[in-house]
């Protein structure tokens, strides 16, 4: 048997997992700062949930990429392709939750889609969602949360924002039948990938007349400032749903400062392919990165939970998902330095293994990630090992150091060494290392 990963999957070695843990720690810090609490749901869901009305919908690209399976009871199941449907199911199963309910969930999802840089068939999503508030202030909060999350990682991100109701208003303006709106939006979602000609061809295959397609594409070509785009849209959108979309996007932007608006762009052609979006939608990208894929995306999905529950009760929801794998690629390609190990201090004994073992324990008690040489290598080999692993400090323990009741601390980056009492060594390591990217 040839040992290899299945297509579109990969192992995550320690040096990569360190980067991912760094991302997760920064995201969790920001999520909780905004008042979101953790939740965990299974990766296996009933197929009928994944394909439910108000969910992804059978026509969506995500549903075409789903991994399906059957259990021993011949029940049709699927691997969840995102976190939102599981969140909606949880809300429906727990009707006594206090509203608004704000949660985050971090875990793997699966899609049998095309492979390219930043896209895999198993990947992690880090989601934040809030249910129980229909005011656009929540939409604005989600946008700012996402910008803060990328800022915490030192990444220069920006958001593309739109409203599904505006898309439907444009479709109505073009004269396209309302029942074809969701199918047309799926094609519009590909505008950035296949261009206007590709979209025109898809719409032709869906029997959309050329004159209607022309009006549709002309509306998506509007440019200018936020105010100028809104003014143009008000001139062509007259139907109720489209007007609602314009009012909602105006409300969202009314909560943003001029500085914040520099990183949030109103993109009239942004569609997002999932069928459950009902209002605000958005995607995030990193400036000046080799990775061109979106690093986050989400929107408002007010109809999903009522549809799942077949209930008349309203469950307004909005959320955003961060792609852990693609953000990891962005960080590594940005040149940001991460070690190959979580070890902060490597203890090198010189015929003093028991003393070195005790020193390791003292370092750990002080909150320092410590390891030691177990193979009785010489100093030069141990220092070479510590350097190759990106360990920032080495601590040498031998007869000379023990007689003086000190240790020799070596800064692996600068190469400087100094004899210090263990307490001072701990203080120095904690002080110097606390701000490192894979530090505490």
| pLDDT tens digits, one per residue of 85-133 | 899 899 989 989 999 999 999 999 999 988 876 678 998 889 999 999 9
Cα of 95 vs its chain's centroid, Å = 28
Percent share of the chain, pLDDT over 70: 95
Q: Which CATH architecture has domain 345-433?
A: 3-Layer(aba) Sandwich (3.40)
List the structure tokens of 232: 């143009």
Cα of 404 vs its chain's centroid, Å = 51
Confidence grade of residue 308 (pLDDT, cut at 50, 70, 90): confident
Which element (helix H / strand E) includes 387?
helix 379-388
Q: Is the pLDDT of residue 439 over 50?
A: no
Q: What is the pLDDT of residues 241-261, one digit of tens each?
A: 999 999 999 999 999 999 999
Q: What is the pLDDT of residues 145-198, one digit of tens each?
A: 999 999 999 999 999 999 999 999 999 998 988 888 888 888 888 887 888 888
Most confident residue range from 64-78, 106-120, 264-278? 64-78
Instruction: Enumerate the domain spans of the chain.
Output: 14-333, 345-433
Alpha carbon separation from 190 to 196, 269, 279 (Å, rounded): 9, 10, 19
Q: Which CATH architecture has domain 14-333?
A: 2-Layer Sandwich (3.30)
230: Cα within 13 Å, side-chain hemisphere: 19
The span from the CA of 266 to the CA of 432, in Å, is: 43
The span from the CA of 211 to the CA of 190, in Å, is: 20
Alpha carbon separation from 145 to 300, 322, 383 (Å, rounded): 15, 11, 42
* pLDDT value of residue 118: 60
List the structure tokens of 322: 């961060």
Cβ atoms 256, 140 nearer than 8 A = yes
Cβ atoms 265, 223 nearer than 8 A = no
Per-residue DSSP letter, 289: -
The span from the CA of 433 to the CA of 440, in Å, is: 8
Q: What is the pLDDT of residues 6-50, one digit of tens each?
A: 999 999 999 999 999 999 999 999 999 999 999 999 999 999 998
Tally DSSP H helices, then E strands, for the chain.
18, 16
Cβ atoms 208, 181 nearer than 8 A = no
Phi, psi of 132, rounded to the nearest 5 degrees:
105, 10
List the structure tokens of 300: 């408002």
Picking from 174, 237, 406, 334, the residue whose alpha carbon sits closest to that of residue 229 is 237
Cβ atoms 86, 45 nearer than 8 A = yes
β-pairing, 44-46 vs 76-79, is: antiparallel
* pLDDT value of residue 53: 53
pTM of the model: 0.86
The beta-carbon contacts of 186-195 under 8 Å, at least 24 apart in sequence, are 186/59, 186/60, 186/61, 186/271, 186/273, 186/275, 188/216, 188/220, 188/269, 188/271, 189/61, 189/271, 189/272, 189/273, 191/220, 191/269, 191/271, 192/269
Picking from 299, 295, 277, 279, the residue whose alpha carbon sits closest to that of residue 287 is 295
* pLDDT value of residue 336: 84
Could you write out the DSSP letters of every residue in 125-183?
A: EEEEEEES--SHHHHHHHHHHHHHHHHHTT--EEEEEEEHHHHHHHHHHTT--GGGHHH
Confidence grade of residue 54 (pLDDT, cut at 50, 70, 90): very low
Which element (helix H / strand E) includes 101?
strand 101-110
* pLDDT value of residue 416: 95
The span from the CA of 372 to the CA of 89, in Å, is: 48
Which element (helix H / strand E) includes 205?
helix 191-205
CA torsion sign for 334, 337, 340, 341 is: negative
């Amino acid at each position: 048997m040839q040992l290899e990963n299945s297509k579109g999957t990969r192992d995550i070695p320690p040096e990569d997992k360190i980067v991912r843990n760094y991302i997760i720690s920064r995201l969790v810090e920001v999520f909780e700062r905004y008042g979101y609490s953790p939740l965990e749901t299974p990766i296996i869901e009933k197929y009928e949930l994944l394909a439910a009305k108000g969910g992804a919908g059978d026509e969506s690209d995500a549903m075409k990429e789903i991994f399906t399976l059957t259990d021993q009871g011949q029940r049709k199941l699927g691997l969840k392709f995102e976190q939102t449907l599981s969140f909606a199911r949880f809300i429906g199963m727990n009707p006594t939750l206090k509203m608004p309910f704000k949660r985050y969930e971090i875990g793997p999802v699966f899609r049998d889609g095309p492979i390219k840089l930043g896209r895999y068939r198993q990947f992690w999503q880090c989601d934040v969602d809030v249910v129980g508030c229909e005011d656009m202030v929540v939409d604005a909060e989600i946008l700012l949360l996402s910008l803060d999350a990328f800022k915490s990682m030192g990444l220069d991100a920006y958001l593309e924002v739109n409203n599904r109701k505006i898309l439907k208003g444009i479709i109505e303006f073009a004269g396209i039948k309302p029942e074809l709106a969701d199918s047309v939006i799926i094609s519009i979602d590909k505008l950035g990938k296949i261009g206007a000609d590709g979209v025109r061809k898809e719409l032709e295959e869906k029997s959309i007349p050329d004159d209607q397609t022309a009006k549709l594409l002309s509306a998506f070509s509007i440019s200018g400032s936020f105010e100028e785009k809104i003014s143009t849209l008000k001139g062509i959108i007259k139907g109720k749903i489209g007007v609602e979309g314009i009012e909602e996007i105006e409300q969202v932007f009314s909560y943003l400062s001029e500085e914040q608006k520099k990183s949030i762009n109103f993109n009239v052609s942004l569609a997002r392919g999932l069928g459950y979006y009902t209002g605000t939608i958005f995607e995030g990208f990193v400036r000046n990165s080799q990775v061109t894929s979106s690093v986050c995306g989400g929107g408002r999905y007010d109809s999903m939970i009522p549809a799942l529950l077949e209930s008349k009760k309203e469950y307004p929801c909005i959320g955003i998902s961060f792609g852990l794998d693609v953000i990891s690629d962005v960080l590594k390609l940005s040149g940001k330095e991460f070690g190959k190990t979580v070890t902060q201090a490597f203890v090198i004994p010189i015929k003093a293994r028991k003393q070195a073992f005790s020193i390791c324990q003292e370092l750990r008690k002080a909150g320092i990630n410590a390891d030691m040489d177990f193979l009785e290598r010489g100093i030069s080999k141990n220092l070479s090992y510590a350097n190759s692993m990106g360990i920032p400090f080495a601590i040498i323990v031998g007869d000379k150091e023990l007689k003086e009741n000190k240790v020799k601390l070596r800064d692996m980056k600068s190469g400087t060494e100094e004899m210090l009492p263990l307490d001072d060594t701990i203080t120095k390591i904690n002080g110097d290392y606390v701000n490192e990217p894979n530090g505490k």
